[in-house]
Amino acid sequence: MSQYDFLSSLGIQDVNPGAYDGTWIDTTGPELRPINPATGKPLPAVKDANRADYRRVVKAAQQAWLRWRELPAPKRGEYVRRIGEKLRERKDELGQLVSLECGKIYQEGLGEIQECIDIADFAVGLSRQLYGLTIASERPQHHMRETWHPLGVVGIITAFNFPAAVWAWNACVSLVCGNAHVWKPSRKTPLTALAMTRVCAEVLEEDGFGALLGLIVGTDDEVGNAMLTDQRLPLISATGSVRMGRIVAEKVGKRLGRSLLELGGNNALTVLDDADLGLATRAIVFGAVGTAGQRCTTTRRVLVHHKIHDELARRLVDAYGTVKIGDPLDPATLMGPLIDAQAVAQFEAAVEAAKSQGGEVLTGGTAHRAEGDLAGGFYVQPTIIKARADMPIVQEETFAPILYLIPIKGVNEAIRIQNDVPQGLSSAIFTRNVRHAERFLSAVGSDCGIANVNIGTSGAEIGGAFGGEKETGGGRESGSDSWKAYMRRQTSTVNWGTELPLAQGIQFGE
């Protein structure tokens, strides 16, 4: 364990409790042992929470919420400001833990914690800007206004690939909105959730508000379903696969609750023949290889003008040849492992499917055999496949570093092919032509929630609204006015006169 000494400074023991309701609950469930994807060896364990633990966490969250909702929003923002400070203090260790547990390289682990700090800062500012509208009333001596109020206890379900940041997007914004939370993290990355909760809740514990950041590590049967069907959770914010999103939407919809979904992407990056190829190459490599292709924003398809296809392919193959695969905590590494053996199998199956559907592997295409300590890790080679848009595999999101290179004739064909998939998260175009760029951003252009010009599909800043259309689920998280999803809107009409005129001019009685 010596190489993991930093874990104890984050409060991680060999075996850890799996629930938090303001204090750590001594859960008794079976031990969940996350695996270090870089080595295949077990990490410290977490004892699963059960239904009774879940009830306890929700109850404590509800009670804390009753007091929290009465605090003025800027006062709530002050707590979030201090959460941001704590995250700054612990950035290195938390970044290291993210890297250890989910396998992204340390630079990206640090980036993830920075994303948490950024959203905390954003939320602090937001706490003084939860604006409503005033609306002109049609009646004399009346006024109308809209006010935004806290929702209650918000359920947050997160995926392994951003084990800290996606929770922070939700929790920081939603805290200033005046809500309490119950977080069910991915079962592949529970330790990051434990550490994030410990660091952030410390600030709230001082005033008995720890339960606002409830945490529950448990199975879907025991805990997940309980959240989805629980009337006490007015909003479930869930990030993960389309399959998971459908279950969430159905179960939460059935009780007429709200869900905020951030699901799969199948993101295309178009390169026109006037593009800066150096820029495009760098953006594609980061977008396709970063986080080993396991971001929802990962570049999965490059739609390249046929005139420059061979040149771009050559540049990409050369760049891929320099990608060092290995231990994500080694500063020389550019691509770490996939999350688990199943992800490697899915990578292999997708490559086989692509080949059988007529794809041509330009580089990569197989698992990567690592040596020594890393021999049990889940490594694959970053892969480029020359493909056609009509290959069925190209319609699917495979959470792995597989890039499909598809020749196109121009901007219109690129837009058509780009949009012709079930998902609609992120997209990008590389061109120097303002007409093509603006067409791409127009109503007849990209149908995605994110559409970029001359930057890649991944690595969004927190200031914008994040999310996408179609099977991506339609939700928006993080910046802009995403906060509205975490509040309830109230329209008020106030009569300050002595008459009672009715709207629409209705005369009723006298």
- Can you list the pairs that 81-86 forms with residues at least 24 positions away whose Cβ atoms lie under 8 Å? 81/120, 81/121, 81/124, 82/203, 83/120, 83/172, 83/175, 83/200, 83/203, 83/204, 84/117, 84/120, 84/121, 84/124, 84/172, 86/199, 86/200, 86/202, 86/203
Residue list 346-375, contact with ligand UN1 (CB under 6 A): none
Q: Return the half-sphere exposure (C-beta side, CA atoms, 13 A cut-off) of residue 13.
A: 8
Residue 291 beta carbon to ligand UN1: minimum distance, rounded to whole angstroms = 7
Residue 296 beta carbon to ligand UN1: minimum distance, rounded to whole angstroms = 4
Using CB atoms, what's the residue nearest to ligand UN1? 460
3-class secondary structure, 255:
coil
Q: For ligand UN1, which residue of 297, 363, 472, 482 counts as binding (CB under 6 A)?
A: 297
Binding segment for ligand UN1 among 82-90, 131-139, 292-300, 408-416 (CB under 6 A)?
A: 292-300
The residue (of 81 and 295) whose beta carbon lies closer to ligand UN1 is 295
Burial class for 221, CB neighbours closer than 10 Å (0-12, 13-18, 19+): exposed
The residue (of 60 and 460) whose beta carbon lies closer to ligand UN1 is 460
Q: Name the residue with tokens 């009723």.
A: 508
How do 31-32 and 45-47 pair as beta strands? Answer: antiparallel
Residue 459 beta carbon to ligand UN1: minimum distance, rounded to whole angstroms = 5
Residue 89 beta carbon to ligand UN1: minimum distance, rounded to whole angstroms = 22
Give the strand order in the sheet containing 153-157.
24-25, 19-20, 213-216, 180-184, 153-157, 235-239, 258-262
Site size for ligand UN1 (CB under 6 A): 11
Q: For ligand UN1, which residue of 29, 407, 459, 467 counts as binding (CB under 6 A)?
A: 459
Question: Which of the 8 DSSP states describes residue 368?
Answer: -
Question: Which of the 8 DSSP states describes residue 505?
Answer: G
The residue (of 57 and 462) whose beta carbon lies closer to ligand UN1 is 462
Burial 118-127 (b: 16+ CB within 10 A, else e): bbbbbbbebb
Residue 159 beta carbon to ligand UN1: minimum distance, rounded to whole angstroms = 6
Distance (Å, rounded) from C-alpha 126 to C-alpha 97?
Answer: 29
The residue (of 204 and 296) whose beta carbon lies closer to ligand UN1 is 296
To which H or E segment does residue 363 belong?
Answer: strand 360-363
Residue 44 beta carbon to ligand UN1: minimum distance, rounded to whole angstroms = 25
Beta strand extents in 17-138 (DSSP E only): 19-20, 24-25, 31-32, 35-36, 41-42, 45-47, 134-135
87 and 316 in contact (C-beta within 8 Å)? no
The residue (of 123 and 226) whose beta carbon lies closer to ligand UN1 is 123
Q: For ligand UN1, which residue of 192, 281, 423, 458 counts as binding (CB under 6 A)?
A: 458
Residue list 266-285, contact with ligand UN1 (CB under 6 A): none
Residue 443 beta carbon to ligand UN1: minimum distance, rounded to whole angstroms = 24
Residue list 170-209, contact with ligand UN1 (CB under 6 A): none
Residue 166 touching ligand UN1 (CB under 6 A): yes
Nearest alpha-carbon partner for 121 in 161, 148, 157, 85: 85
The residue (of 152 and 467) whose beta carbon lies closer to ligand UN1 is 467
Residue list 223-252, contact with ligand UN1 (CB under 6 A): 239
Question: Would you name the residues annotated as active-site residues?
Answer: 262, 296
Residue 452 touching ligand UN1 (CB under 6 A): no
Binding segment for ligand UN1 among 24-32, 202-210, 248-256, 290-298 (CB under 6 A)?
A: 290-298
The residue (of 54 and 286) whose beta carbon lies closer to ligand UN1 is 286
Residue 162 touching ligand UN1 (CB under 6 A): yes
Residue 290 beta carbon to ligand UN1: minimum distance, rounded to whole angstroms = 8
How do 426-430 and 267-271 pair as beta strands? Answer: parallel
Residue 460 touching ligand UN1 (CB under 6 A): yes
Distance (Å, rounded) from C-alpha 277 to C-alpha 431?
Answer: 9
Residue 46 touching ligand UN1 (CB under 6 A): no
The residue (of 58 and 428) whose beta carbon lies closer to ligand UN1 is 428
Residue list 85-124, contact with ligand UN1 (CB under 6 A): 115
The residue (of 20 and 162) whose beta carbon lies closer to ligand UN1 is 162
Residue 169 beta carbon to ligand UN1: minimum distance, rounded to whole angstroms = 9
Cα-flanking dihedrals φ and ψ of residue 5, to 5°? -55, -35
302 and 264 in contact (C-beta within 8 Å)? no
Which parts of this chain interact with ligand UN1 (CB under 6 A)?
115, 161-162, 166, 239, 295-297, 458-460
